[in-house]
Amino acid sequence: MAGVTVDLRLGDCLEIMKTLPDGCVDLVLTDPPYGHNNNNNDLAHRREAALGLRDSVPDEWARPILNDGPEANEIVRAMFREANRLLKPGHCCCCCCCGGGPTPTFARVAQWMDIPPLSFFHAIVWDKGGLGLGWRYRRNYEFVMVAHRVGGKLLWNWDGSGVETANVIRIGKILPQSDDHPTPKPVALIEHFLRLHTAPGDIVLDPFAGSGPTGVACAKMGRRFLGFELDQKWVDLGNDRIKAQEKGMDVDELRAGQTSLLELIE
């Protein structure tokens, strides 16, 4: 996949998206802040204490996500308005969102995605397996909401084979380590939607890129990628993950300064 442009950069997605020309993007695929202040003194942050595994959890274990409070609602809505403009007719926007409490984020996201020229199409269930956090109804799934820009036929399975797929995807969740992004998405989940809604060489935009799983999937599958993230440490980790994928290495090996097999052969 040499020569494919994969670019994760530091910056405010709304400001940078405004500089891009109309109709320049083949797919918007993103995991925005849910507005729940995730991993900032919540159950995810203090899980071990809640389960009785330790008396307390250090404050430094918190890894708050920027703009993950009430302000997230307007930021995500504004992102969809820009996505409307940037997507080509018939091309899709895929947006991760929570499947349950504490507030019905999934319902709001579906409504925000159904504003012309963007048209809401389907809610895909990502079954993460096992029992997640929470009480009573435990969180073991999330949604991936899919919409498309009207004015063209919804882009589906670019190779023309007409393959259909279930609206429930079963891919195991990631349990992040203390130095990982607090809400990582599996690269395999991203790959699923790239297969359905893009072709090799297409441009994929991720406005809330986090630690770069969309960029890693694009590097792996030969898609061009442009992603934005506000937190420098996740930009650095994401770019290292993308570079490791391009070199056929593990990110820890890359960060340790090891040489890839491809470089040794060259």
Cβ atoms of 27 and 205 within 8 Å: the answer is yes
What DSSP element (H or E) covers 30? Answer: strand 25-30
- Mean pLDDT for the stretch of residues 118-145: 88
Q: How much is the pLDDT for 2? A: 44
Q: How much is the pLDDT for 264? A: 44
- Mean pLDDT for the stretch of residues 215-231: 96
Provide φ and ψ at 101, rounded to 5°.
Answer: -55, 180
The conformation of residue 133, written as its DSSP 8-state character, comes to S
Strand 168-170 relative to strand 224-229, pairing = unpaired
Cβ atoms of 49 and 115 within 8 Å: the answer is no
- Mean pLDDT for the stretch of residues 86-112: 89
Predicted confidence band of residue 266 (pLDDT cuts 50, 70, 90): low
ω into 102 cis (within 30 of 0)? yes
Which residue, 35, 30, 41, 42, is CA-closest to 133? 42
Is CATH 3.40.50.150 what the domain over 6-265 is classified as, yes or no? Answer: yes
- Residues 242-249: contacts with CB within 8 Å, 24+ apart? 242/6, 242/8, 242/212, 242/215, 242/216, 245/216, 245/219, 245/220, 246/1, 246/6, 246/219
pTM for the whole structure = 0.85
Between 27 and 249, name the one with better pLDDT. Answer: 27
Out of 96-105, 128-137, 212-221, the most confident range is: 212-221
The conformation of residue 97, written as its DSSP 8-state character, comes to E
User: Is the pLDDT at 225 greater than 90, yes or no?
Assistant: yes
User: Is the pLDDT at 111 greater than 80, yes or no?
Assistant: yes
Domain range list for the chain: 6-265
Q: What percent of the chain has pLDDT over 70?
A: 81
**Could you tell me the CA-to-CA distances from 77 to 83, 99, 213 in Å, in that order?**
10, 18, 22
